[in-house]
Structure 1
């Protein structure tokens, strides 16, 4: 039921995008809103500007315990752990504690929700699933990807289906959200600065499936034991995707690509026979993206998106910015922006998307390292990487661990690396920015780094 917030005391914790949207929604509903953040006012100019006309009370630079224990409701932003002492005290005092997604879900009663999670690939899968649904009915795509769900409610709602990427942080605060389709792509160790271990991390994601009811659909990666166990524990109907012989769910049968490089996905859902979908889109290249596509297609077919619209959506999907994004094709040379690859696992996935055989990739790596070894990338260099160009703070470590595998040059800056790459490449080659590092040594974020790459390609390629 839609929550009745008029006159209620609501404390919203954390002032990133989700917290701002939650505070504005509660204020719109007539609540007496207090927003609180440990950061000082000078670090919150953007969020505070967005709240200027909302009439909220602000407690910044720390928290006041009474704002939690005397509230009628506490709404927690995803970046704030539920283990925060003040949140624990609120629960002990009997105060309801919701996450931002839970708050939004209570305004979306009757709208089917497709929830997608996983350690890797969830943004691409969510964006693709949203694009497939949007060809058939009014669709909102967001959550952890892009627009918070509370902002969608503020904007008037109106979607006939919601496709939401949900992180483990967002799922900690779920109580009543019921996904008609919940998909889990994979579970690997992540966010261990917030969780005790990978089991604790997985348990946060498993909450999503515990909220499903009979008749809902649970979608899981058949080759990931943790993901499969989560979905199997649900009361929903289980569907799997993966590589192997056609069967219920979605499968990549491993057929050889045709002359155009296209592969096939076979999907069997809604009680019918297997359907075959052609996957030729370069924005979905690589084994990992075939898995992402299987999951997205399965979600769409389970909720009735016609097969023809699914195929058209697969063909038209433009991919995500900064994730294996083609930003230039000149003289038979492809320039690919994978700036979102801020760790070694992501670069491994990105580099794997290029076929082995003849070494045609000029790889740009480096930035602010995260302490992880680069050695796991070594097996992918043979037959793929023509040259390695290093940038940023961790360039010496990248060269030390990988520099013996191919010609390697220290370029220091991204601009210099693009300029040097333009001199090295020949028709048929690709230049891949896949840093395996954070961007904060030279850029504000990976988006700024990706946009700089795009700009330099236009200048030098």
Structure 2
């Protein structure tokens, strides 16, 4: 990511040879923006399917060169590579760029460099990363900022393009920015007003190469922070990232905890979310921000998300009343701890977004007893710790998907008393069968919980479709049609 410098004033882009790696949701906007600035843009992509050809045709009509089926070769004369965040760093394209001294940026880095291009004062970034909870926390933060009367948007790895946010007509006071480890890897210059790492657990190790490399990329979010580095006081690894970061003079380390907060922390006292960080005397004072019941849903890991969002908002000067109002107004996205129905005294909860073991552990910890529906694509995950720590909560388990055997083996070792239904099928209709089997195992007062701990692509397009299938099956059960 080093190499020769690239200027970023509007005039400096004219005639520049820029290669955009990836013809997807970040690559296409990047190509259009750069072409609009006068750069000579070539897009490279491994794909050759109908969708790739259609996107290529659109860009070629806008004077962008597109090379399909060859994402590994660096076009001659390239002065800058702008990559989609998901492209692995060991791609030959990047090795070639490094050998030629050509810098590599992600779309987030490009957006950061183009801030203020129209002469407006750039909006500060409040940035969030972590293995789980990023989207929820960023949307909570945006809700709090809006409650404070600030012009804001939830952007980044959340579906809203940062390029649109920094170059569009809308003028923002502050941006709530979700950043993935992929995006941070390719964003060497981003400097947030304040930043948070919510948690760290093994994920995407095939992409990063090791847990150390994954954590280091997450830790980039703290580099150059000016006001606050927010960390999870229950996870030393996040605090270690703060200690290792090179921040602006005066930037503070702010912890959040589900227990009673110490000085420079936010936490929980009885049923209150309280602040002992942004008060005149943090050794002797605590400021009430909200009640636990103001958070939807009020389960432990979501309370932690709310505290992190509150810490970032308070770092930006938001008053306590706006924190409460914003948290009360927030509603979680679909498939995140969503209560679908109560059937015969049993609650059915859709947490299809729990696509890794860390997320599933947080979900399981919120209910007791649980009939657990799990399985899918493991992505190299190990389930021993998850099962061992959740065993006492389990009434039963129903397993689906390609890698369900890994969970079944962990259950046999660490929860042999738990009845397990192993559905040997990966078709989409398996979800209806899983819900019927879970209903058979459940008793009144139990929760049937879809928290797969796995990716969905072996059976479904994405976790949304998987959650929809669960909800449809539950509604059929409630109607007596199952």
TM-score (norm 1): 0.87
- 1:387 is paired with a residue whose SS is strand
Give the aligned CA root-mean-square deviation in angstroms.
Answer: 2.7
> How far apart are 1:181 and its partner, in Å?
0.7
> How far apart are 1:390 and its partner, in Å?
2.1
Does residue 1:95 correspond to 2:102, yes or no? Answer: yes
Does residue 1:449 correspond to 2:457, yes or no? Answer: no
Question: Which of the residues 258, 270, 273 maps onto 2:278?
Answer: 270
> How far apart are 1:130 and its partner, in Å?
1.9
- 1:159–1:282 CA distance, 2 compared to 1 (3 A): closer
Q: Which runs of 5+ in 2 are unaligned?
A: 1-7, 117-121
Q: Which residue matches 1:314?
A: 327
Q: Which residue matches 2:236?
A: 225
> How far apart are 1:370 and its partner, in Å?
3.6
How many angstroms apart in 2 are the aligned matches of 1:163 and 1:268? 23
- 1:439–1:114 CA distance, 2 compared to 1 (3 A): same
> How far apart are 1:353 and its partner, in Å?
1.3
Q: Which residue matches 1:402?
A: 411
**Native 8 Å contact 1:250 1:265 kept in 2:** no
**Native 8 Å contact 1:352 1:380 kept in 2:** no
Out of 309-318 and 370-379, give the one that drifted further: 370-379
Could you give the per-residue CA deviations for residues 166-209 of structure 1, whole angstroms, max 9, x where no partner exists?
12221122243221011112233332223343222222223332
Question: Which of the residues 345, 366, 374 maps onto 2:375?
Answer: 366
Q: Which residue matches 2:208?
A: 195
Could you give the per-residue CA deviations for residues 403-438 of structure 1, whole angstroms, max 9, x where no partner exists?
633333234410112234445555533221111222
Runs of 4+ in 1 over 6 A off after TM superposition: none
Question: Which of the residues 297, 303, 308 maps onto 1:290?
Answer: 303
How many angstroms apart in 2 are the aligned matches of 1:200 and 1:91? 19
Q: Which residue matches 2:267?
A: 252
Q: Which residue matches 1:145?
A: 158
Q: Which residue matches 2:198?
A: 185
- 1:373–1:231 CA distance, 2 compared to 1 (3 A): closer
Matches within 5 A, 1:277-426: 277-281=290-294, 283-329=296-342, 332-354=345-367, 356=368, 359=369, 361-402=370-411, 404-411=416-423, 412=425, 413-422=430-439, 425=442
- 1:442–1:243 CA distance, 2 compared to 1 (3 A): closer
- 1:15–1:24 CA distance, 2 compared to 1 (3 A): same
> How far apart are 1:299 and its partner, in Å?
0.4
Matches within 5 A, 1:11-22: 11-22=19-30
Q: Which runs of 5+ in 1 are unaligned?
A: 256-262
- 1:378 is paired with a residue whose SS is helix
> How far apart are 1:96 and its partner, in Å?
3.7
Out of 174-183 and 239-248, give the one that drifted further: 239-248
- 1:350–1:266 CA distance, 2 compared to 1 (3 A): same
> How far apart are 1:12 and its partner, in Å?
0.6
Could you give the per-residue CA deviations for residues 18-55 of structure 1, whole angstroms, max 9, x where no partner exists?
11221122123232221111222446257547646543
- 1:280 is paired with a residue whose SS is helix
Out of 284-293 and 28-37, give the one that drifted further: 284-293
Could you give the per-residue CA deviations for residues 83-138 of structure 1, whole angstroms, max 9, x where no partner exists?
43333433443434321101112333421101111223222222221221122212
Matches within 5 A, 1:103-118: 103-109=110-116, 110-118=122-130
How many angstroms apart in 2 are the aligned matches of 1:329 and 1:407? 22
Question: Which of the residues 238, 252, 260 maps onto 2:253?
Answer: 238
